[in-house]
A and B are shown apart, each in its own frame.
Chain A
């Protein structure tokens, strides 16, 4: 069991450069270090190019050969905000944050009922939740579209909130269960023997262990909702469109503004990039549904 997540962390930047502290792990030879950095830079190059281009003028962006050292400007970002990307970002923020809150409100009690005071056949319930993730979303698009249309809920952020909640709930239940399963059983029993009420147990024993897990779960749900495209593009039109739908306008080649596209792509990816960098150690566990630490 690891409580490393709870430990205070100092020298964050140093840690970033050194990576996971493990003086026993063998060193990479200079040749392989070079290979590792070459591969890293190859993978990072498109991201770097996207960010770099977003700070150029259109004339400097679409050149052949490329001109990476063209003058830097914030014009593209100014243009984006003056040409109404804001409502799209607000819709994205609303759909992602509201659905994340809803997911947690539903998943935390469920995970509690599946780990700390487990219901009978709790593994079956777990697998039911997981099995819904295997249903391809495209197979549900048609009935969802028809129902939403009949209910007059097309182009409404709340429709996305409900769908994103359903999309992330199984993942959240699995993750939260794996975090709650780390609460030491002996301490729970001792607290009950001492006559501590449910709320006291939850607050004093469960919460401190589960908090980092809660943060990681919210992060994963936020990322998946923020990035979702298929439902957003098919179920919204003008009022409730999210950031990925804003980007659809850049699909055609005619009259393309490459620098502005790069600025938009950077801007909409930024929240997830920041959150992901900040919580990279939690990312693995979330992405593998808590099966891998």
Chain B
């Protein structure tokens, strides 16, 4: 199989449908694909069309009989609403910090785990555990067992340390109220760092050994080797990690719902949670749908970059 950085060869793609095959043969090829394709179109595309339609209606289920077509006015509401602007900003802050921090930590851990040391396999197994814990369970764990001001592990440990050094009591910090956004970010970084580490570790282990050997022979320092050989080699892996991470973290719902419920105020309300509130608390279906459409447009921008990166990985594979 190719590594991601294998130079594209000139050979034609190994698989190519025969152009001369008749339409019966073409259909024979298509049949196995159709169930999956039709299922996907029905279950994912139709709801989006419905969202588009609903977004043009004034529709609040608390006011039955007032449902009517309003054109694009829900959209002008979406773009001018203070709460939604806050939610957009929160989403950007949350996603960017989680992805950037977990990539950096993941890179550091991957560099360490790329080398041999006592118990490396066990360390790797323990490190991926945070990613495997159910997200809602993880969010509750952080909220109650770690951040809780009275009996959480964080304050409890601080307290124990203070007492060890002879002080009476440690500080009682209400982490979630005092630092709501960092509290959510830390719990998500904890979950996503193992993901980044796994992808970057795979990248490091696909690194050709002879190039590193040559660099060592030429007397390159560890830092030089990292900057000029390892980092360029890892670039595609980092891009992949950032893009996949962004796609998933943008959609974060579990952590916000569980840890802060968007609060205090709307300090941690991200777009998915704001749309959820509009739908199931305010019952403003039209507004929720319009916000949903805007989110899809935003996701489309990210996806364009993502698809381009993945397409380049993909081309290298098929042109091997």
Which A residues fall within an 8 A CB radius of B?
1-2, 15-20, 22, 24-28, 32-33, 35-37, 39-41, 43-47, 49-50, 53, 61-66, 106-107, 109-110, 112-120, 122-123, 125-147, 162-163, 165-166, 169-170, 173, 178, 181-182, 185, 223, 226-227, 229-230, 233-234, 243-244, 247-248, 250-251, 253, 256, 258, 261-262, 264-266, 268-269, 272-273, 276-277, 280, 283-285, 287-289, 291-293
A112 to B268, CA, bound (A): 44
In the complex, what residues of B have CB within 8 A of residue A134's CB?
Answer: 247, 299-300, 302-303, 306-307
B160 touches A (CB below 8 Å): yes
Q: Are B123 and A37 in contact (CB under 8 A)?
A: yes
A119 to B280, CA, bound (A): 43
Q: Shortest CB–CB separation between residue A102 and chain B, in angstroms?
A: 9
A256 to B201, CA, bound (A): 40
Q: Are B123 and A36 in contact (CB under 8 A)?
A: yes
Supply 15 A–B pairs (Cβ within 8 Å), ascending by A.
A32-B115, A33-B117, A36-B117, A46-B145, A106-B35, A126-B314, A128-B40, A138-B251, A143-B47, A169-B36, A229-B136, A233-B257, A248-B136, A261-B141, A273-B132
B134 touches A (CB below 8 Å): yes
In the complex, what residues of B have CB within 8 A of residue A126's CB?
Answer: 314
Per-residue 0/1 for B104-117: is the Cβ within 8 Å of any A Cβ (1 yes, 0 no)? Answer: 00001100111111
A45 to B190, CA, bound (A): 11
Of B145, B163, B272, B302, which is within 8 A of A261 by CB?
B145
In the complex, what residues of B have CB within 8 A of residue A262's CB?
Answer: 141, 145
In the complex, what residues of B have CB within 8 A of residue A120's CB?
Answer: 17, 26
Closest chain B residue, CB of each to CB of A272: B132
In the complex, what residues of A have CB within 8 A of residue B306's CB?
Answer: 134
Q: Are A273 and B129 in contact (CB under 8 A)?
A: yes
A283 to B293, CA, bound (A): 33
In the complex, what residues of A have CB within 8 A of residue B32's CB?
Answer: 109-110, 112-113
Contacts of B98-142 to chain A: CB distance below 8 A:
108-109, 112-138, 140-142
In the complex, what residues of B have CB within 8 A of residue A269's CB?
Answer: 132-134, 137
Of A62, A114, A138, A264, which is within 8 A of B276 by CB?
A138
Known A120-B26, A147-B47, A293-B1; judge A25-B115 contact (CB<8 A). yes
Q: Are B153 and A66 in contact (CB under 8 A)?
A: yes
Q: Shortest CB–CB separation between residue A231 and chain B, in angstroms?
A: 10
Most buried by A among B131, B144, B258: B144
In the complex, what residues of A have CB within 8 A of residue B272's CB?
Answer: 136, 138, 230
B292 touches A (CB below 8 Å): yes
Closest chain A residue, CB of each to CB of B113: A36
In the complex, what residues of B have CB within 8 A of residue A2's CB?
Answer: 1
In the complex, what residues of B have CB within 8 A of residue A293's CB?
Answer: 1, 3, 202, 206
Q: B interface, by DSSP: helix, strand, loop or mixed?
A: helix
B223 touches A (CB below 8 Å): no
Q: A interface, by DSSP: helix, strand, loop or mixed?
A: helix
Per-residue 0/1 for B22-47: is the Cβ within 8 Å of any A Cβ (1 yes, 0 no)? Answer: 00001001111101110110011111
A258 to B153, CA, bound (A): 12
Q: Shortest CB–CB separation between residue B137 and chain A, in angstroms?
A: 4
Of B29, B132, B209, B279, which is within 8 A of A113 by CB?
B29
Contacts of B59-80 to chain A: CB distance below 8 A:
none
A230 to B257, CA, bound (A): 9
How big is the B interface, by class?
35 or more
In the complex, what residues of B have CB within 8 A of residue A292's CB?
Answer: 4, 199, 202-203, 206, 237, 240
Closest chain B residue, CB of each to CB of A259: B145
Q: Are A109 and B35 in contact (CB under 8 A)?
A: yes
Q: Are B151 and A62 in contact (CB under 8 A)?
A: yes
In the complex, what residues of B have CB within 8 A of residue A250's CB?
Answer: 140, 144
Q: Are B115 and A139 in contact (CB under 8 A)?
A: no
Q: Are B17 and A37 in contact (CB under 8 A)?
A: no
Q: Are B54 and A143 in contact (CB under 8 A)?
A: yes
Q: Are A135 and B299 in contact (CB under 8 A)?
A: yes
Q: Are B35 and A24 in contact (CB under 8 A)?
A: no
Of A22, A122, A261, A266, which is within 8 A of B144 by CB?
A261
Known A123-B314, A135-B296; judge A24-B209 contact (CB<8 A). yes
B15 touches A (CB below 8 Å): yes
Q: Are A127 and B47 in contact (CB under 8 A)?
A: no
Most buried by A among B14, B15, B133: B133
B184 touches A (CB below 8 Å): no
A112 to B256, CA, bound (A): 40
B188 touches A (CB below 8 Å): no
Q: Shortest CB–CB separation between residue B150 and chain A, in angstroms?
A: 6
B271 touches A (CB below 8 Å): yes
In the complex, what residues of B have CB within 8 A of residue A37's CB?
Answer: 119, 123
Q: Are A16 and B121 in contact (CB under 8 A)?
A: yes
Of A61, A119, A166, A247, which is within 8 A of B140 by CB?
A247
Q: Are B299 and A138 in contact (CB under 8 A)?
A: no
Q: Given known contacts A141-B276, A277-B132, what 15 new A-B pairs fall within 8 Å (CB)?
A: A18-B121, A63-B151, A63-B156, A66-B160, A109-B32, A113-B33, A117-B17, A120-B26, A129-B40, A136-B295, A139-B48, A139-B295, A163-B43, A265-B134, A284-B199
A107 to B302, CA, bound (A): 26
Q: Shortest CB–CB separation between residue A249 and chain B, in angstroms?
A: 10
B155 touches A (CB below 8 Å): yes
A223 to B142, CA, bound (A): 21
Q: Shortest CB–CB separation between residue A76 and chain B, in angstroms?
A: 13
Q: Shortest CB–CB separation between residue A213 and chain B, in angstroms?
A: 12
Of A36, A112, A135, A247, which is within 8 A of B137 by CB?
A247
